Amino acid sequence: MFSRLYPSRYSKKLTCLFRNVVASATTNSVATTTTTATTTAAANAPKILITGSLGQLGKGLGRLYRKKYGQESVIMSDILKPSKEILNEGRYIYADVLDFKNLQEIVVNCEVDWLIHFSALLSAIGENNISLAVRLNIEGFHNVLELSKQYKLKLFVPSTIGAFGPTSPRNPTPDLTIQRPRTIYGVSKVHAELMGEYFHQKFGLDFRSLRFPGVISADTAPGGGTTDYACQIFHDALKTGHHVCFLKKDTKLPMIYVDDCLRSIEEFLTVPDEKLKLRTYNINAMSFTPEDLAEKIKKYIPELRVTYKPDNRQDIADSWPMEFDDSGARKDWGWKHHYDLEELVKVMLKYLAPIYGRTLKNINS
C-alpha cells in the first residue's frame, strides 16, 4: 500500500519506524558514534541536539550549525543509519524520541542547551499511519517538551501550513486565526504550538516555533508530505521529461526554498525574547500552482510534460492556506526570504542538471 503511494524511501522508513516502536522500550543507552570531527566548539556556543536530523530539514540544519558553532557543538540524531558522509562531518547518535530515558541520558551526558525537534510523520504519510503519527508527533513531542522544561533547554519545534484547515481563511492565512486542521499531522502540530506556548507562560520555557510552507530541496527527498510534487517534478523533468502530479494543476500552495527555511530557523533562535510577540510565527516565500511551476521549468526544459492525476493528497491541499501571511515575522524580527519562484527553479536545476548528466541552456544567465 505505502510503496504504491510513496517512493521507496518512505516504505523503507516506515518499516524502520515500526521496528523501532517495538524496539524502543529496550534501548536506553547513549550509543555515541565516534567521528572524525576536527573543529572544536566556538566559545560560548550552545550545545545543540537535533532529533530526526536525517530528514529533509535536519541534514541541512546540522551542516549550517556545524559551520556556525563548530562540529563539537552539534549532535545530530535519528533512528536511521547515517551515511559515511554524515559521520565524517561530526557527531551522530541514535536517539528515539519515543524513548524518554534515552533522550534524557543524551541531554545530560552531552550537556545539551538547545533542542531542535524535527522527528515527525508528515501530512500524507501520517494519514496512512494514524496511530504511529499520534505516537511520534504527540508522544515524541511530549518527551522533548518535558525534558526541555526539566533541563531548561531552548526548544524549537517546526509547525506547518498544515496546522490550518478548511475553516481557516486561506487567502491569506494570518498568524492568529481559526485552526481546525483535518489531518492528524495538523492536529499534532496545533497541539505542539499550544503546549509550547502554555509551557512558556507557565514555566518560562523558551519554546519557539515557525509554521513552514512546503520546503523544496534538491539533495534530500521529502518524507511523505502533500507538497512533495514540487521537489519530484525537477527530478522527473531532468530524467524522463514527464511528471505525474498528484495534485490538480491549479492547486495553489505556499512554498519555500530550503536555504531560506533553514536561515529562518537560524535567525529566529537568536532573536532576543523581548522582541517576540508570539511563540509561533508564519514563514513564507512564495505561492504557486503545479502549472505555474511547470511553466517556469519549461523555460529550461521545454520538453517537460505533466499529467495531472490527483489522489487523496488533493483533499489535504484543498484544506490548506493558498497565500500565507508572514508579516508578523517580517515586522517583529526582520524575516526576509531570498528565493522567489524564478530563483528557486534556477537553483534547483543548476544543482540537479549535472547529476542527471544534462546541460541546460540559459540557466546561468
Ligand X SMILES: C[C@@H](O)[C@H](N)C(=O)O
Binding site for ligand X (CB under 6 A): 122-123, 160-162, 185, 214, 222, 225-227
Count the helices and strands in the chain (H runs, E runs): 15, 14
Tell me how far, at minimum, the Cβ of 206 lies from ligand NAD, in Å. Answer: 18
Neighbours of 40 (CB within 10 A): 11
User: Which of positions 180-219 make contact with ligand NAD (CB under 6 A)?
Assistant: 212, 214-215
Number of chain positions touching ligand NAD (CB under 6 A): 32
Report the residue from 46, 58, 82, 165 that binds ligand NAD according to the rule CB under 6 A. Answer: 58
b/e map of 299-338 (b: 16 or more CB within 10 Å)?
bbbeebebebebeebbebbbbbbbebbbebbbebbebebe
d(CA 216, CA 347): 11
* Catalytic residue flag (residue 351): no
Q: Work out whether 231 is an interface residue with ligand NAD (CB under 6 A).
A: no
What 3-state class would DSSP assign to 105? helix
Determine the interface stretch with ligand NAD among 117-125, 141-149, 321-329, 354-362 (rule: CB under 6 A): 117-125
d(CA 89, CA 78): 15
54 is in the binding site of which of ligand NAD, ligand X, none (Cβ under 5 to 8 A by kind)? ligand NAD
Run of H or E including 308: strand 305-308
Tell me how far, at minimum, the Cβ of 211 lies from ligand X, in Å. Answer: 9
- Reading the block at residue 311, the C-alpha cell is 489522489
Determine the interface stretch with ligand NAD among 34-42, 62-70, 75-83, 265-273 (rule: CB under 6 A): 75-83
Tell me how far, at minimum, the Cβ of 214 lies from ligand X, in Å. Answer: 5
- Maximum Cα–Cα distance across the chain: 58
Per CB under 6 A, residues contacting ligand NAD are: 13, 17, 20, 51-52, 54-58, 78-80, 95-98, 118-120, 122, 136, 140, 158, 160, 212, 214-215, 222-223, 225, 227
| Catalytic annotation, residues | 185
